[in-house]
Amino acid sequence: MDQLETAARYDFASGHNPPSIGNACDARRMLGVPLDAHLLVIEDDAMIAWMVESLLEDLGFSSISLAASGEDAVAAALVRAPGLIISDIHLGSGMDGVTAAATIVSACSAPVIFITGYSIAQARPRVEAAVQGASLLRKPIQSAELETAIVHAFSARGAH
């Protein structure tokens, strides 16, 4: 691992490009959003988790934890309380995203954004019953939708 990290980065494929000018503008536009907030992403699929992480980095966030299961997410939240949770709903076997987010929020209140492959109509009643004020995005997600949901999550929070 260490050897890989220090291996020559001769290619362009780091996946962690420095923010471009466009990204900097995006970050400035996200008024009222604390970019130093710690984000917890709960998603069992590595590619989707990576994409969400990358989109969040592009928006200007730098403190992001990834959890592949509900159990891992709850454990991660105990180590560091998240300022925002972004979670898939279905996480394979074990605790699902709604239960994980509700468990975490009951201990340290944080806004929650769910991303789901289920139909929104199917997921909404359960999500709303479990986590008040949570928003719901459909897979596959788009950067603009995610950004809007994040701005909304923090502004709704500020209004409380």
Partner 1 sequence: MSELHDLRSESLGSVLRTALDAVVVMRTDGTIAGWNDVAERTFGWSFRDASGRRMSDLIIPERFRADHEKGLAHFLATGEGPVLNQHIEIHALHRDGRELPVELSITQTSQFGEPVFLGFLRDISERHEAALRQDLMIGELNHRVKNLLGVVAGIAHMTAKSSASLADFEPAFSGRLMALGKAHEILTAATWERASLQTLVDDLLGTMATADPPRATANGPNILLEPKHVLSVSMILHELMTNALKYGALSVPNGHISLSWAVDHKGLSIEWLETGLVLLEQLQRKGFGTKMIERTVAHELKGTSETHWRPDGLTFRFSFTPTTGG
What residues line the site for partner 1 (CB under 8 A)? 1, 3-5, 7-15, 17, 44-51, 54-55, 66, 68, 90, 92, 115, 117-119, 122, 138-141
For the CB of residue 64, give the shortest distance to partner 1 in the complex, in Å: 13
For the CB of residue 69, give the shortest distance to partner 1 in the complex, in Å: 9
- Say how many C-beta atoms besides its own lie within 10 A of residue 97's C-beta: 29
Nearest to partner 1 of 122, 132 (CB atom): 122
In 3D, which of 144, 126, 53, 37 has the Cα closest to residue 89?
126
For the CB of residue 133, give the shortest distance to partner 1 in the complex, in Å: 24
Nearest to partner 1 of 58, 154 (CB atom): 58
Nearest to partner 1 of 59, 105 (CB atom): 59
For the CB of residue 22, give the shortest distance to partner 1 in the complex, in Å: 14
Nearest to partner 1 of 52, 105 (CB atom): 52
**Which amino acid, 52?**
V
Nearest to partner 1 of 8, 31 (CB atom): 8
Cis peptide bond upstream of 111, omega within 30: no
**CB neighbour list of residue 23: distance below 8 Å, 6 or more residues apart:** 58, 59, 60
For the CB of residue 145, give the shortest distance to partner 1 in the complex, in Å: 12
Residue with token string 């309380």: 81
**Which stretches of 80-119 are DSSP H helices?**
97-107
Task: Give the count of alpha carbons within 13 A of 12, CB side only.
Answer: 0
Length of the chain: 160
